[in-house]
Amino acid sequence: MRGYNLSFKALVTAGAFAAGMLATSSVFAQEETIKVGVLHSLSGTMAISETTLKDTMLFLIDEQNKKGGLLGKKLEAVVVDPASDWPLFAEKARELISVNKVSAVFGCWTSVSRKSVLPVFEELNNILFYPVQYEGEESQRNVFYTGAAPNQQAIPAVDYLMNDEGVERWVLAGTDYVYPRTTNKILEAYLQAKGVKAEDIMINYTPFGHSDWQTIVSDIKKFGSAGKKTAVVSTINGDANVPFYKELGNQGIKAEDIPVVAFSVGEEELAGLDTAPLVGHLTAWNYFQSVDTPENTAFIDSWRAFIKNDKRVTNDPMEAHVIGFNMWVKAVEKAGTTDPDAVIDALIGVSVPNLTGGYSTMMPNHHITKPVLIGEIQADGQMSTVWQTSGLVVGDEWSDYLPDSKDLISDWRAPMSCGNFNVATGKCGGKGVN
C-alpha cells in the first residue's frame, strides 16, 4: 500500500494590471531584458484566486532584479489577462511566446486552463510553471508542476479523516471540470479499496460560479444523518465557495458534525470574508501562512513591503510560484542560457528552499517534493496545522488507483525521455498527456 509515501514510481523517477501587458519597470523596457510571462485570470470567476499570483510574480521578479537580474540582464514581466476564459488561455499563451518572446511562463489555475495551453507550449517549445494542486494523470515535457499531485494532498486528507476523525461516509463535492472529476475518480477508487461501500459515497458537481446551494446542502445534511460519521471532500473552485460555506451555516451544519476538507480554499479566498461559517472546517495544502519558520517570516515581510499592505495574506499557490521561479532562475544560471531545451534539462534535480523549512527538489517526472499539511480554519482566516507528514512527499503523476495509470511512470531524462512509460510493457505511450 502506497498511500502518500514514497512509491515505486517515485523511486524510479527519483485588477490594477487587469488589461493588456505590463513591464516591471519602464526603464527595463528600454534595454534588452529577459521577459517572463504571467498568465493568470485578473477578471472572471477565478480572479478571486489568481490575481494574487500575478502580484506574486511581479514581487519575485522585482526581488530578482534587486539581486542584479539574471545572466547580467534585468527581468521584465509581461502580464496578460485570460479572464477565466479557458480557450483564451491558449490565445494568450501563444501571444506571450510568439509575440512577446518570453523565456518562460508562470500561470494557469484550473486544470481546464492548463489543458488548453498544453498544445501551445509543446508546439512552440516553451516552459510553463503550473503552481496549483491538480488531478495528476499528466506529465508533459514543457510543463513543471509545482502544485500538489493527488498523493500530496487529496489522499493524505482522506487518510486523515478516516484514521483520525473516524469518517465512514463521504461526500465528494466539486466544480464540474477535469480536476474535480479526475480527483474524485481517484478518491472513489481509493475509498473502495479501503472497504468503503458505494452507498457510503455521494458525488456532486456544480458549474463554476454556482450560487444556489440550498438543495445540495440539504442533500448533504440528509446523507450525513445515517448514523455514520460523514465528511465533505471539496474540490469546489473559485467564488462558488463563498455561498457554499454560508449555506452550510444557514442549515446548521457545524464542522464537528460534518467537517469539510477543502483543496481550493486558502488564505486568499478567506481574506475579507465572514469566516464564522468556516471555523473548524479543514483545508489540505502544502503550505500555510501560519507556518512558523524563518524562511516564511522573511517572505511574508518582504511580500507585504512590496505590496504596501501589511494585511495581505500568503497562500499555497504563492509558495509554489516562489519555488518554481527560484528553480527556473537556478536552472537558467546552471545552463547559462534561457534556451528552453537547455533549461528543461537543467531543471531536473534542482533543489531550492521552500517556506516550510526544507528544500523542494524537481524530480525527473517534472513534479516536486512537498510536505503535506492539514489545517483547521480559524476565525481570523488563518489555518492551524492539525497534522502534517514527517517529511517531504514525491509528487506522483500517475495514480496507482486507476487501472490505466497504475503501470505508468514518467522520466524526462535521457534516454527514457517519456511522460508515460509503461513498466509492464516496457514501452513509452507517447507524449505523457491523457
What's the rounded mean pLDDT across residues 335-354?
98
User: In sequence order, what DSSP letters do the residues of 169-192 get, joined into one string?
Assistant: EEEEEEESSHHHHHHHHHHHHHHH
Alpha-carbon distance 290 to 6, whole Å?
26
Alpha-carbon distance 359 to 361, whole Å?
7
Per-residue pLDDT, 256: 92
Per-residue pLDDT, 31: 58
Reported as a single tens digit per residue, the pLDDT across 180-203 is 999 999 999 999 999 999 999 999
Confidence band (pLDDT; 50, 70, 90) for 18? very low
Per-residue pLDDT, 433: 65
Reported as a single tens digit per residue, the pLDDT across 259-301 is 999 998 889 888 867 888 889 999 999 999 999 999 999 999 9
Cα–Cα distances (Å) from 281 to 51, 76, 351, in that order, read 25, 40, 33
The least confident of 26-30, 95-99, 137-141, 313-317 is 26-30
Cα–Cα distances (Å) from 165 to 108, 120, 232, 256, in that order, read 34, 44, 12, 10
pTM score, whole prediction: 0.88
Mean pLDDT of the chain: 91
Provide the grid cell at 367.
513534479
Cα–Cα distances (Å) from 90 to 105, 115, 135, 372, in that order, read 12, 9, 20, 31
Grid cell 483543496 — which residue? 263
Catalogue all structural domains in the chain, each as residue range(s) with its CATH number: 8-148+294-369 (3.40.50.2300), 151-285 (3.40.50.2300)
Q: Please, which residues have CB within 8 angstroms of residue 325's CB and are 6 or more apart in sequence?
A: 57, 60, 64, 106, 129
Per-residue pLDDT, 136: 95
Q: Please, which residues have CB within 8 angstroms of residue 344's CB and are 6 or more apart in sequence?
A: 127, 141, 142, 412
What's the rounded mean pLDDT across residues 156-184?
96
